[in-house]
Chains A and B, each alone.
Chain A
Amino acid sequence: MMSFFSEVYAVAWSDLRFMRHNILQIMVSSLMLPILYLLAFGYGLKAGDVDLFGDGSVMVPYLTFVIPGIIALTSLSSSFNSTATRMNVQRLYYRSFDEMMMCPLSNTAIIIGKTILGMVRALISVTLMFCIGCALEPDFLTWMNPGLFVLSVALCCFLFGLLGETAALMVRSHSGMSLFTSLVITPMTFLCGTFFSVQALPAAFQWILYVFPLTEASLCIRGSALMGVSDAYAFPFWALGVIVAYIVVLFSIDMYLIKNRKV
Protein backbone atom coordinates (compact mmCIF):
# COMPACT_ATOMS: atom_id res chain seq x y z
CA MET A 1 0.00 0.00 0.00
CA MET A 2 2.80 2.39 0.94
CA SER A 3 4.52 1.64 -2.31
CA PHE A 4 1.29 2.32 -4.21
CA PHE A 5 1.14 5.84 -2.77
CA SER A 6 4.77 6.44 -3.47
CA GLU A 7 4.16 5.41 -7.09
CA VAL A 8 1.24 7.84 -7.33
CA TYR A 9 3.42 10.55 -5.86
CA ALA A 10 6.24 9.77 -8.28
CA VAL A 11 3.84 10.11 -11.21
CA ALA A 12 2.38 13.36 -9.87
CA TRP A 13 5.69 14.89 -8.80
CA SER A 14 6.82 16.11 -12.20
CA ASP A 15 3.38 17.60 -12.88
CA LEU A 16 3.47 19.45 -9.57
CA ARG A 17 6.93 20.81 -10.40
CA PHE A 18 5.54 21.95 -13.72
CA MET A 19 2.75 23.73 -11.84
CA ARG A 20 5.27 25.40 -9.56
CA HIS A 21 7.10 26.85 -12.55
CA ASN A 22 3.92 28.36 -13.95
CA ILE A 23 1.87 29.07 -10.86
CA LEU A 24 0.89 32.66 -11.64
CA GLN A 25 -0.04 31.93 -15.22
CA ILE A 26 -2.07 28.95 -14.10
CA MET A 27 -3.99 30.93 -11.48
CA VAL A 28 -4.84 33.73 -13.85
CA SER A 29 -5.90 31.47 -16.68
CA SER A 30 -8.06 29.21 -14.54
CA LEU A 31 -9.90 32.09 -12.85
CA MET A 32 -10.46 34.17 -15.97
CA LEU A 33 -13.27 32.07 -17.38
CA PRO A 34 -15.36 31.68 -14.19
CA ILE A 35 -15.07 35.39 -13.45
CA LEU A 36 -16.23 36.22 -16.95
CA TYR A 37 -19.19 33.88 -16.53
CA LEU A 38 -19.95 35.46 -13.19
CA LEU A 39 -19.93 38.94 -14.71
CA ALA A 40 -21.90 37.95 -17.81
CA PHE A 41 -24.51 35.71 -16.20
CA GLY A 42 -24.55 36.90 -12.62
CA TYR A 43 -24.63 40.63 -13.31
CA GLY A 44 -25.01 41.23 -17.04
CA LEU A 45 -28.05 39.04 -17.51
CA LYS A 46 -30.09 40.50 -14.63
CA ALA A 47 -32.25 37.38 -14.48
CA GLY A 48 -35.08 37.17 -11.95
CA ASP A 49 -35.33 34.83 -8.96
CA VAL A 50 -34.95 31.13 -9.61
CA ASP A 51 -37.55 28.56 -8.62
CA LEU A 52 -35.36 25.82 -7.06
CA PHE A 53 -37.78 22.87 -7.19
CA GLY A 54 -39.97 24.00 -10.08
CA ASP A 55 -43.06 24.17 -7.81
CA GLY A 56 -42.68 27.70 -6.53
CA SER A 57 -41.91 26.60 -2.97
CA VAL A 58 -38.36 27.98 -2.75
CA MET A 59 -37.17 31.02 -4.67
CA VAL A 60 -33.56 32.26 -4.56
CA PRO A 61 -31.92 35.27 -6.25
CA TYR A 62 -30.22 34.37 -9.54
CA LEU A 63 -26.75 35.31 -8.25
CA THR A 64 -27.16 32.91 -5.34
CA PHE A 65 -28.27 30.25 -7.77
CA VAL A 66 -25.51 30.75 -10.30
CA ILE A 67 -22.46 30.91 -8.00
CA PRO A 68 -22.53 27.18 -7.07
CA GLY A 69 -23.07 26.41 -10.79
CA ILE A 70 -19.98 28.40 -11.65
CA ILE A 71 -18.06 26.56 -8.95
CA ALA A 72 -19.09 23.25 -10.54
CA LEU A 73 -18.06 24.58 -13.91
CA THR A 74 -14.70 25.71 -12.51
CA SER A 75 -14.04 22.23 -11.21
CA LEU A 76 -14.74 20.87 -14.69
CA SER A 77 -12.73 23.31 -16.78
CA SER A 78 -9.79 23.54 -14.42
CA SER A 79 -9.41 19.84 -13.75
CA PHE A 80 -10.18 18.68 -17.28
CA ASN A 81 -8.01 21.21 -19.07
CA SER A 82 -4.91 20.89 -16.96
CA THR A 83 -4.97 17.09 -16.99
CA ALA A 84 -5.79 16.75 -20.67
CA THR A 85 -3.42 19.42 -21.94
CA ARG A 86 -0.42 18.27 -19.95
CA MET A 87 -0.93 14.61 -20.73
CA ASN A 88 -1.56 15.29 -24.39
CA VAL A 89 1.66 17.30 -24.69
CA GLN A 90 3.66 14.69 -22.77
CA ARG A 91 2.32 11.90 -24.89
CA LEU A 92 2.29 13.34 -28.39
CA TYR A 93 4.90 16.11 -28.38
CA TYR A 94 7.51 15.56 -25.69
CA ARG A 95 7.06 11.79 -25.72
CA SER A 96 8.05 11.84 -22.07
CA PHE A 97 4.94 9.78 -21.39
CA ASP A 98 6.79 6.88 -23.05
CA GLU A 99 9.64 7.32 -20.62
CA MET A 100 7.22 6.90 -17.76
CA MET A 101 5.58 3.87 -19.34
CA MET A 102 8.97 2.13 -19.47
CA CYS A 103 9.35 2.38 -15.71
CA PRO A 104 8.04 -0.20 -13.24
CA LEU A 105 4.84 1.62 -12.26
CA SER A 106 1.38 0.11 -12.10
CA ASN A 107 -1.23 1.43 -14.51
CA THR A 108 -3.52 2.23 -11.60
CA ALA A 109 -0.85 4.43 -10.05
CA ILE A 110 -0.28 6.17 -13.37
CA ILE A 111 -3.97 6.92 -13.89
CA ILE A 112 -4.47 8.21 -10.37
CA GLY A 113 -1.15 10.07 -10.32
CA LYS A 114 -1.99 11.85 -13.54
CA THR A 115 -5.21 13.28 -12.07
CA ILE A 116 -3.36 14.94 -9.19
CA LEU A 117 -2.26 18.03 -11.13
CA GLY A 118 -5.82 18.63 -12.32
CA MET A 119 -7.24 18.04 -8.84
CA VAL A 120 -4.81 20.42 -7.14
CA ARG A 121 -5.34 23.11 -9.74
CA ALA A 122 -9.10 22.71 -9.66
CA LEU A 123 -9.19 22.77 -5.85
CA ILE A 124 -7.23 26.03 -5.84
CA SER A 125 -9.51 27.59 -8.46
CA VAL A 126 -12.63 26.38 -6.68
CA THR A 127 -11.39 27.77 -3.37
CA LEU A 128 -10.73 31.16 -4.94
CA MET A 129 -14.10 31.09 -6.69
CA PHE A 130 -15.78 30.11 -3.43
CA CYS A 131 -14.15 33.07 -1.66
CA ILE A 132 -15.43 35.42 -4.36
CA GLY A 133 -18.85 33.79 -4.03
CA CYS A 134 -18.91 34.27 -0.26
CA ALA A 135 -17.88 37.90 -0.64
CA LEU A 136 -20.88 38.45 -2.92
CA GLU A 137 -23.34 36.30 -0.97
CA PRO A 138 -22.11 35.83 2.63
CA ASP A 139 -25.16 33.67 3.44
CA PHE A 140 -23.49 30.70 1.75
CA LEU A 141 -21.46 30.33 4.92
CA THR A 142 -24.59 29.76 7.01
CA TRP A 143 -26.46 27.67 4.42
CA MET A 144 -23.78 25.31 3.31
CA ASN A 145 -22.97 21.84 4.59
CA PRO A 146 -19.16 21.99 4.55
CA GLY A 147 -18.62 18.21 4.66
CA LEU A 148 -20.87 17.45 1.70
CA PHE A 149 -19.59 20.51 -0.17
CA VAL A 150 -15.95 19.44 0.12
CA LEU A 151 -16.82 15.83 -0.69
CA SER A 152 -18.79 16.85 -3.79
CA VAL A 153 -16.11 19.21 -5.03
CA ALA A 154 -13.32 16.65 -4.49
CA LEU A 155 -15.20 13.87 -6.28
CA CYS A 156 -16.06 16.18 -9.17
CA CYS A 157 -12.44 17.30 -9.58
CA PHE A 158 -11.31 13.67 -9.60
CA LEU A 159 -14.01 12.71 -12.10
CA PHE A 160 -13.14 15.52 -14.50
CA GLY A 161 -9.42 14.72 -14.18
CA LEU A 162 -10.21 11.16 -15.29
CA LEU A 163 -12.23 12.58 -18.15
CA GLY A 164 -9.21 14.67 -19.15
CA GLU A 165 -7.12 11.51 -19.25
CA THR A 166 -9.71 9.76 -21.39
CA ALA A 167 -9.51 12.63 -23.86
CA ALA A 168 -5.71 12.73 -23.82
CA LEU A 169 -5.42 8.97 -24.32
CA MET A 170 -8.01 8.87 -27.08
CA VAL A 171 -6.95 11.68 -29.36
CA ARG A 172 -4.13 11.37 -31.88
CA SER A 173 -3.40 15.07 -32.38
CA HIS A 174 -3.93 18.57 -31.07
CA SER A 175 -6.91 19.08 -33.36
CA GLY A 176 -8.47 15.93 -31.95
CA MET A 177 -8.29 17.58 -28.56
CA SER A 178 -10.12 20.69 -29.78
CA LEU A 179 -12.78 18.43 -31.25
CA PHE A 180 -13.27 16.63 -27.95
CA THR A 181 -13.52 19.96 -26.15
CA SER A 182 -16.07 21.40 -28.53
CA LEU A 183 -18.18 18.24 -28.65
CA VAL A 184 -18.16 17.29 -24.98
CA ILE A 185 -16.83 20.02 -22.72
CA THR A 186 -18.35 23.19 -24.19
CA PRO A 187 -21.93 21.84 -24.40
CA MET A 188 -21.61 20.59 -20.82
CA THR A 189 -20.43 24.01 -19.68
CA PHE A 190 -23.55 25.77 -20.90
CA LEU A 191 -26.29 23.19 -20.57
CA CYS A 192 -25.66 21.15 -17.46
CA GLY A 193 -27.56 23.08 -14.84
CA THR A 194 -24.81 25.59 -14.30
CA PHE A 195 -26.67 28.70 -15.45
CA PHE A 196 -30.24 27.47 -15.23
CA SER A 197 -32.18 24.83 -13.38
CA VAL A 198 -32.42 21.58 -15.32
CA GLN A 199 -35.83 20.98 -13.71
CA ALA A 200 -37.20 23.88 -15.72
CA LEU A 201 -36.68 21.98 -18.98
CA PRO A 202 -38.93 19.47 -20.81
CA ALA A 203 -38.53 15.95 -19.40
CA ALA A 204 -36.93 14.44 -22.53
CA PHE A 205 -34.28 17.13 -22.63
CA GLN A 206 -33.64 16.70 -18.90
CA TRP A 207 -32.83 13.04 -19.39
CA ILE A 208 -30.26 13.87 -22.04
CA LEU A 209 -28.61 16.35 -19.70
CA TYR A 210 -28.49 13.82 -16.85
CA VAL A 211 -26.17 11.76 -19.06
CA PHE A 212 -23.53 14.49 -18.79
CA PRO A 213 -21.87 14.31 -15.37
CA LEU A 214 -21.62 18.08 -14.96
CA THR A 215 -25.41 18.05 -14.38
CA GLU A 216 -24.95 15.82 -11.34
CA ALA A 217 -21.92 17.87 -10.30
CA SER A 218 -24.00 21.08 -10.35
CA LEU A 219 -26.79 19.40 -8.39
CA CYS A 220 -24.41 18.14 -5.69
CA ILE A 221 -22.42 21.33 -5.34
CA ARG A 222 -25.50 23.55 -5.38
CA GLY A 223 -27.29 21.16 -3.06
CA SER A 224 -24.55 21.25 -0.47
CA ALA A 225 -24.06 25.03 -0.79
CA LEU A 226 -27.76 25.88 -0.44
CA MET A 227 -28.58 23.17 2.10
CA GLY A 228 -29.89 25.60 4.74
CA VAL A 229 -32.12 27.65 2.43
CA SER A 230 -35.15 25.53 3.15
CA ASP A 231 -35.98 22.55 5.36
CA ALA A 232 -37.46 20.85 2.31
CA TYR A 233 -34.09 20.94 0.59
CA ALA A 234 -32.56 17.48 0.61
CA PHE A 235 -29.08 16.82 -0.66
CA PRO A 236 -29.24 14.75 -3.89
CA PHE A 237 -27.33 11.68 -2.71
CA TRP A 238 -28.39 9.83 -5.85
CA ALA A 239 -26.43 12.37 -7.92
CA LEU A 240 -23.35 11.78 -5.77
CA GLY A 241 -23.87 8.07 -6.50
CA VAL A 242 -23.98 8.80 -10.23
CA ILE A 243 -20.71 10.73 -9.92
CA VAL A 244 -19.08 7.77 -8.19
CA ALA A 245 -20.43 5.47 -10.90
CA TYR A 246 -18.95 7.75 -13.56
CA ILE A 247 -15.62 7.64 -11.73
CA VAL A 248 -15.66 3.84 -11.89
CA VAL A 249 -16.61 3.85 -15.58
CA LEU A 250 -14.03 6.44 -16.65
CA PHE A 251 -11.34 4.75 -14.56
CA SER A 252 -12.03 1.47 -16.37
CA ILE A 253 -11.99 3.21 -19.75
CA ASP A 254 -8.66 4.85 -18.91
CA MET A 255 -7.22 1.49 -17.81
CA TYR A 256 -8.30 0.00 -21.11
CA LEU A 257 -6.89 2.90 -23.12
CA ILE A 258 -3.55 2.86 -21.35
CA LYS A 259 -3.17 -0.88 -21.87
CA ASN A 260 -4.06 -0.72 -25.54
CA ARG A 261 -2.25 2.52 -26.18
CA LYS A 262 -1.08 3.11 -29.72
CA VAL A 263 1.82 5.50 -30.54
Chain B
Amino acid sequence: MDMQDDCIIDVSGLVKRFGEKSAIDHVDMKVKRGEMYAFLGPNGAGKTTTVRVLSTLTGFDEGTVIIDGHDIVKEPREAKAAIGVIQQHISLDKDLTVWENMMAHAMYQQMPKAERIKKIDQLSEYIGLGDYYNFKVDKLSGGWKKRVAIVCALVHSPKLLFLDEPTVGLDIQARRGLWDLLRKLNNDGMTIFLTTHYIEEAESLCTRVSFIEKGKIIADGTPEDLAHKIGYFTVESFGKDHNTQYAYFQTKAEADEYAKQFDDTMTVTVRRTNLEDAFVEMTGNRIGDNGFMLQKATNPKEAR
Protein backbone atom coordinates (compact mmCIF):
# COMPACT_ATOMS: atom_id res chain seq x y z
CA MET B 1 0.00 0.00 0.00
CA ASP B 2 1.58 3.28 -1.02
CA MET B 3 1.32 6.54 0.91
CA GLN B 4 -1.46 7.85 -1.29
CA ASP B 5 -3.69 4.89 -0.63
CA ASP B 6 -3.06 5.12 3.06
CA CYS B 7 -5.10 8.32 3.21
CA ILE B 8 -8.86 8.16 2.77
CA ILE B 9 -9.12 11.95 2.69
CA ASP B 10 -6.40 13.91 0.94
CA VAL B 11 -7.09 17.61 0.60
CA SER B 12 -4.59 20.13 -0.69
CA GLY B 13 -4.85 23.86 -1.19
CA LEU B 14 -8.62 23.85 -0.72
CA VAL B 15 -10.32 27.22 -1.05
CA LYS B 16 -14.05 27.88 -0.97
CA ARG B 17 -15.29 31.43 -1.30
CA PHE B 18 -18.69 32.93 -0.69
CA GLY B 19 -18.41 36.21 -2.54
CA GLU B 20 -15.33 38.01 -1.24
CA LYS B 21 -15.06 35.92 1.90
CA SER B 22 -13.18 32.61 2.09
CA ALA B 23 -15.13 30.10 4.16
CA ILE B 24 -12.27 27.63 3.59
CA ASP B 25 -8.91 29.29 3.23
CA HIS B 26 -6.09 27.17 1.76
CA VAL B 27 -6.66 24.04 3.78
CA ASP B 28 -4.36 21.02 3.52
CA MET B 29 -5.48 17.93 5.34
CA LYS B 30 -4.85 14.21 5.29
CA VAL B 31 -6.94 11.67 7.15
CA LYS B 32 -5.65 8.10 7.33
CA ARG B 33 -7.82 5.04 6.97
CA GLY B 34 -9.22 3.94 10.30
CA GLU B 35 -8.76 7.28 12.01
CA MET B 36 -11.36 9.01 14.14
CA TYR B 37 -10.77 12.62 13.24
CA ALA B 38 -12.33 15.72 14.78
CA PHE B 39 -12.69 19.18 13.35
CA LEU B 40 -13.03 21.53 16.26
CA GLY B 41 -14.01 25.14 15.84
CA PRO B 42 -16.43 27.89 16.85
CA ASN B 43 -19.58 28.93 14.97
CA GLY B 44 -18.84 30.12 11.49
CA ALA B 45 -15.36 28.57 11.43
CA GLY B 46 -16.13 26.66 8.25
CA LYS B 47 -16.87 23.18 9.59
CA THR B 48 -20.13 22.64 7.73
CA THR B 49 -18.73 24.13 4.56
CA THR B 50 -15.79 21.71 4.73
CA VAL B 51 -18.06 18.71 5.22
CA ARG B 52 -20.28 19.83 2.33
CA VAL B 53 -17.31 20.27 0.02
CA LEU B 54 -15.76 16.92 0.98
CA SER B 55 -19.08 15.15 0.48
CA THR B 56 -19.43 16.66 -3.03
CA LEU B 57 -22.48 18.76 -2.19
CA THR B 58 -20.84 22.11 -2.75
CA GLY B 59 -18.30 23.01 -5.39
CA PHE B 60 -15.04 24.71 -4.48
CA ASP B 61 -12.80 27.34 -6.01
CA GLU B 62 -9.25 26.03 -5.69
CA GLY B 63 -7.36 22.92 -4.69
CA THR B 64 -7.92 19.19 -4.98
CA VAL B 65 -9.94 16.78 -2.89
CA ILE B 66 -9.27 13.06 -3.05
CA ILE B 67 -11.63 10.72 -1.26
CA ASP B 68 -10.79 7.02 -1.10
CA GLY B 69 -8.34 7.47 -3.95
CA HIS B 70 -10.81 9.28 -6.24
CA ASP B 71 -10.72 12.94 -7.20
CA ILE B 72 -14.20 14.21 -6.30
CA VAL B 73 -14.41 16.39 -9.39
CA LYS B 74 -13.23 13.78 -11.89
CA GLU B 75 -14.73 10.66 -10.31
CA PRO B 76 -17.60 11.84 -8.13
CA ARG B 77 -19.46 8.54 -8.29
CA GLU B 78 -16.63 6.45 -6.91
CA ALA B 79 -15.95 9.04 -4.21
CA LYS B 80 -19.64 9.20 -3.28
CA ALA B 81 -19.86 5.43 -2.98
CA ALA B 82 -17.29 5.52 -0.19
CA ILE B 83 -19.03 8.05 2.05
CA GLY B 84 -21.95 8.39 4.41
CA VAL B 85 -22.95 11.79 5.74
CA ILE B 86 -24.96 12.99 8.71
CA GLN B 87 -25.60 16.64 8.07
CA GLN B 88 -25.88 19.32 10.71
CA HIS B 89 -29.46 20.11 9.82
CA ILE B 90 -32.03 17.37 9.50
CA SER B 91 -32.45 16.63 5.82
CA LEU B 92 -35.00 13.84 5.77
CA ASP B 93 -38.02 13.67 3.50
CA LYS B 94 -40.82 14.70 5.84
CA ASP B 95 -43.57 13.37 3.57
CA LEU B 96 -42.31 9.82 4.00
CA THR B 97 -42.22 7.41 6.91
CA VAL B 98 -39.12 6.48 8.87
CA TRP B 99 -38.78 3.20 7.01
CA GLU B 100 -39.32 4.80 3.61
CA ASN B 101 -36.57 7.31 4.30
CA MET B 102 -34.16 4.53 5.16
CA MET B 103 -35.24 2.46 2.20
CA ALA B 104 -34.86 5.39 -0.20
CA HIS B 105 -31.27 5.77 0.96
CA ALA B 106 -30.51 2.11 0.56
CA MET B 107 -31.92 2.28 -2.96
CA TYR B 108 -29.92 5.38 -3.87
CA GLN B 109 -26.89 3.36 -2.83
CA GLN B 110 -27.91 0.55 -5.21
CA MET B 111 -28.01 -2.12 -2.52
CA PRO B 112 -29.62 -5.46 -3.40
CA LYS B 113 -33.14 -5.82 -2.02
CA ALA B 114 -32.58 -8.54 0.58
CA GLU B 115 -29.53 -6.76 1.92
CA ARG B 116 -31.41 -3.46 2.16
CA ILE B 117 -34.09 -4.90 4.38
CA LYS B 118 -31.64 -6.82 6.54
CA LYS B 119 -29.33 -3.87 7.10
CA ILE B 120 -32.17 -1.47 7.91
CA ASP B 121 -33.61 -3.88 10.47
CA GLN B 122 -30.23 -4.45 12.03
CA LEU B 123 -29.36 -0.75 12.39
CA SER B 124 -32.85 0.26 13.52
CA GLU B 125 -32.80 -2.35 16.20
CA TYR B 126 -29.44 -1.13 17.44
CA ILE B 127 -30.64 2.46 17.53
CA GLY B 128 -34.08 1.63 18.89
CA LEU B 129 -36.08 2.84 15.91
CA GLY B 130 -37.87 -0.42 15.06
CA ASP B 131 -41.16 0.65 16.65
CA TYR B 132 -41.22 3.85 14.64
CA TYR B 133 -40.99 2.38 11.13
CA ASN B 134 -44.43 3.57 10.08
CA PHE B 135 -44.26 6.99 11.69
CA LYS B 136 -44.15 9.97 9.37
CA VAL B 137 -40.76 11.55 9.99
CA ASP B 138 -42.52 14.83 10.65
CA LYS B 139 -44.11 13.43 13.80
CA LEU B 140 -40.80 12.51 15.48
CA SER B 141 -38.95 14.77 17.87
CA GLY B 142 -35.65 16.33 16.80
CA GLY B 143 -33.47 13.76 18.53
CA TRP B 144 -35.34 10.88 16.95
CA LYS B 145 -35.10 12.46 13.52
CA LYS B 146 -31.35 12.59 14.04
CA ARG B 147 -31.39 8.87 14.78
CA VAL B 148 -33.18 8.22 11.51
CA ALA B 149 -30.51 10.28 9.75
CA ILE B 150 -27.85 8.15 11.41
CA VAL B 151 -29.39 4.94 10.08
CA CYS B 152 -29.69 6.49 6.61
CA ALA B 153 -26.03 7.45 6.56
CA LEU B 154 -24.88 4.02 7.72
CA VAL B 155 -27.16 1.82 5.68
CA HIS B 156 -24.62 1.06 2.95
CA SER B 157 -21.70 0.56 5.42
CA PRO B 158 -19.59 3.42 4.07
CA LYS B 159 -15.82 3.36 4.42
CA LEU B 160 -15.86 6.96 5.56
CA LEU B 161 -18.50 8.60 7.73
CA PHE B 162 -18.90 12.38 8.01
CA LEU B 163 -20.80 13.71 10.99
CA ASP B 164 -21.49 17.42 11.28
CA GLU B 165 -22.10 18.22 14.95
CA PRO B 166 -23.80 14.87 15.44
CA THR B 167 -24.65 15.13 19.14
CA VAL B 168 -26.22 18.59 19.16
CA GLY B 169 -29.82 18.15 20.25
CA LEU B 170 -29.40 14.60 21.52
CA ASP B 171 -30.17 13.72 25.15
CA ILE B 172 -27.39 12.40 27.36
CA GLN B 173 -28.26 8.72 26.88
CA ALA B 174 -28.48 9.11 23.14
CA ARG B 175 -25.21 11.00 23.04
CA ARG B 176 -23.43 8.26 24.97
CA GLY B 177 -25.12 5.69 22.74
CA LEU B 178 -23.90 7.46 19.62
CA TRP B 179 -20.37 7.69 21.01
CA ASP B 180 -20.40 3.96 21.66
CA LEU B 181 -21.73 3.30 18.19
CA LEU B 182 -19.00 5.46 16.65
CA ARG B 183 -16.31 3.66 18.64
CA LYS B 184 -17.70 0.32 17.53
CA LEU B 185 -17.84 1.38 13.86
CA ASN B 186 -14.34 2.77 14.07
CA ASN B 187 -13.18 -0.45 15.65
CA ASP B 188 -14.64 -2.35 12.71
CA GLY B 189 -12.54 -0.23 10.37
CA MET B 190 -14.74 2.74 9.43
CA THR B 191 -12.95 6.08 9.21
CA ILE B 192 -14.85 8.78 11.05
CA PHE B 193 -14.66 12.51 10.42
CA LEU B 194 -16.68 14.56 12.85
CA THR B 195 -17.05 18.23 13.45
CA THR B 196 -17.96 19.54 16.84
CA HIS B 197 -17.68 22.49 19.12
CA TYR B 198 -17.87 20.22 22.17
CA ILE B 199 -14.28 19.87 23.24
CA GLU B 200 -14.94 16.87 25.48
CA GLU B 201 -16.46 15.07 22.50
CA ALA B 202 -13.32 15.48 20.44
CA GLU B 203 -11.15 14.64 23.42
CA SER B 204 -12.88 11.45 24.46
CA LEU B 205 -13.61 10.09 20.98
CA CYS B 206 -10.98 11.07 18.53
CA THR B 207 -7.52 9.86 17.70
CA ARG B 208 -6.68 13.12 15.95
CA VAL B 209 -8.03 16.62 16.27
CA SER B 210 -7.57 19.77 14.28
CA PHE B 211 -8.54 23.26 15.31
CA ILE B 212 -10.21 25.32 12.64
CA GLU B 213 -10.81 29.02 12.85
CA LYS B 214 -11.98 31.41 10.14
CA GLY B 215 -11.49 28.74 7.49
CA LYS B 216 -7.90 27.91 8.44
CA ILE B 217 -6.51 24.88 10.27
CA ILE B 218 -4.42 26.34 13.04
CA ALA B 219 -3.23 23.17 14.79
CA ASP B 220 -3.51 19.43 14.36
CA GLY B 221 -2.43 16.33 16.29
CA THR B 222 -3.60 13.81 18.89
CA PRO B 223 -5.50 15.38 21.81
CA GLU B 224 -2.50 14.64 24.06
CA ASP B 225 -0.01 16.11 21.61
CA LEU B 226 -2.01 19.28 21.32
CA ALA B 227 -2.38 19.58 25.09
CA HIS B 228 1.26 18.83 25.69
CA LYS B 229 2.42 21.37 23.17
CA ILE B 230 1.57 24.07 25.67
CA GLY B 231 2.66 22.11 28.80
CA TYR B 232 1.54 19.01 30.70
CA PHE B 233 0.20 20.90 33.72
CA THR B 234 -2.12 23.83 34.09
CA VAL B 235 -2.44 26.20 37.02
CA GLU B 236 -5.84 27.83 37.10
CA SER B 237 -6.23 30.76 39.47
CA PHE B 238 -9.50 32.55 40.14
CA GLY B 239 -9.46 35.73 42.21
CA LYS B 240 -11.61 38.64 43.36
CA ASP B 241 -11.50 40.30 39.98
CA HIS B 242 -13.56 37.36 38.62
CA ASN B 243 -11.02 36.66 35.97
CA THR B 244 -9.49 33.23 35.63
CA GLN B 245 -5.79 33.18 34.86
CA TYR B 246 -4.06 30.20 33.31
CA ALA B 247 -0.40 29.23 33.34
CA TYR B 248 1.14 26.12 31.75
CA PHE B 249 4.15 24.07 32.83
CA GLN B 250 5.96 21.02 31.57
CA THR B 251 6.40 19.41 35.04
CA LYS B 252 4.24 19.04 38.13
CA ALA B 253 7.04 20.47 40.29
CA GLU B 254 7.17 23.68 38.30
CA ALA B 255 3.39 24.00 38.44
CA ASP B 256 3.28 23.46 42.21
CA GLU B 257 6.05 25.96 42.70
CA TYR B 258 4.10 28.54 40.72
CA ALA B 259 0.84 27.79 42.56
CA LYS B 260 2.48 28.54 45.93
CA GLN B 261 2.77 32.26 45.18
CA PHE B 262 -1.02 32.80 45.41
CA ASP B 263 -2.60 33.75 48.78
CA ASP B 264 -5.88 32.58 50.34
CA THR B 265 -8.03 35.09 48.46
CA MET B 266 -7.47 33.13 45.26
CA THR B 267 -8.88 29.75 44.28
CA VAL B 268 -5.98 27.84 42.74
CA THR B 269 -6.13 24.50 40.96
CA VAL B 270 -3.27 22.48 39.56
CA ARG B 271 -4.39 19.91 36.98
CA ARG B 272 -3.41 18.15 33.79
CA THR B 273 -3.65 20.26 30.68
CA ASN B 274 -6.60 19.35 28.48
CA LEU B 275 -7.64 20.01 24.92
CA GLU B 276 -9.67 23.04 25.86
CA ASP B 277 -6.59 24.69 27.37
CA ALA B 278 -4.70 24.04 24.19
CA PHE B 279 -7.49 25.53 22.11
CA VAL B 280 -7.68 28.64 24.28
CA GLU B 281 -3.95 29.10 24.27
CA MET B 282 -3.54 28.59 20.55
CA THR B 283 -6.43 30.69 19.40
CA GLY B 284 -6.84 33.17 22.23
CA ASN B 285 -10.47 32.17 22.22
CA ARG B 286 -12.59 30.10 24.50
CA ILE B 287 -15.52 28.14 23.14
CA GLY B 288 -18.60 28.13 25.32
CA ASP B 289 -20.83 25.10 25.35
CA ASN B 290 -23.07 26.59 22.73
CA GLY B 291 -20.16 27.44 20.51
CA PHE B 292 -19.97 31.14 21.32
CA MET B 293 -16.56 32.56 21.88
CA LEU B 294 -16.58 33.89 25.40
CA GLN B 295 -13.30 35.70 25.66
CA LYS B 296 -12.22 38.18 23.05
CA ALA B 297 -15.76 38.47 21.72
CA THR B 298 -15.69 38.84 17.98
CA ASN B 299 -17.57 41.57 16.29
CA PRO B 300 -20.59 39.82 14.76
CA LYS B 301 -20.11 41.73 11.55
CA GLU B 302 -16.56 40.53 11.29
CA ALA B 303 -17.63 36.98 12.07
CA ARG B 304 -20.00 36.77 9.12
The number of A-B residue pairs with CB atoms under 8 Å apart is 75
Chain A, residues 65-107, CB within 8 Å of chain B (1/0): the string is 0000000000000000000000001100011101111111110
Within 8 A of A (CB), among B93-115: 93-96, 100-101, 103-105, 107-110
Q: Across the interface, do A102 and B93 meet the contact criterion of CB distance under 8 Å? A: no
Interface residue tally for chain B (C-beta within 8 Å): 29
Report the minimal beta-carbon distance from A98 to chain B, rounded to whole angstroms: 5
Contact of A43 with B by CB under 8 A:
no
Contact of A13 with B by CB under 8 A:
yes
On whether A103 and B108 interact (CB within 8 A), knowing A14-B100, A98-B87, the answer reads: yes
Q: Across the interface, do A103 and B152 meet the contact criterion of CB distance under 8 Å? A: no
Interface residue tally for chain A (C-beta within 8 Å): 27
On whether A102 and B104 interact (CB within 8 A), knowing A18-B96, A95-B91, the answer reads: no
State in angstroms the CA–CA spacing of A14 and B81 once bound together. 20
Report the minimal beta-carbon distance from B245 to chain A, rounded to whole angstroms: 45
Report the minimal beta-carbon distance from B162 to chain A, rounded to whole angstroms: 9
On whether A18 and B80 interact (CB within 8 A), knowing A7-B110, A102-B57, the answer reads: no
Instruction: Name the residue of chain A whose CB is nearest to the CB of B81.
Output: A104
- Residues from chain B with a CB closer than 8 A to the CB of A100 are 108
State in angstroms the CA–CA spacing of A9 and B110 once bound together. 10
Q: Across the interface, do A14 and B93 meet the contact criterion of CB distance under 8 Å? A: yes
Contact of B237 with A by CB under 8 A:
no
On whether A11 and B108 interact (CB within 8 A), knowing A17-B100, A102-B56, A104-B81, the answer reads: yes
- Residues from chain B with a CB closer than 8 A to the CB of A46 are none
Smallest CB-CB A-B distances: 10 pairs: A103-B108, A95-B91, A10-B107, A14-B104, A96-B93, A104-B81, A104-B80, A104-B77, A18-B95, A17-B100
Q: Which residues of A contact B (CB under 8 A)?
A: 3, 6-7, 9-11, 13-14, 17-18, 21-22, 89-90, 94-96, 98-106, 260
Q: Which residues of B contact A (CB under 8 A)?
A: 55-57, 59, 77-78, 80-81, 83, 85, 87, 89-96, 100-101, 103-105, 107-110, 152
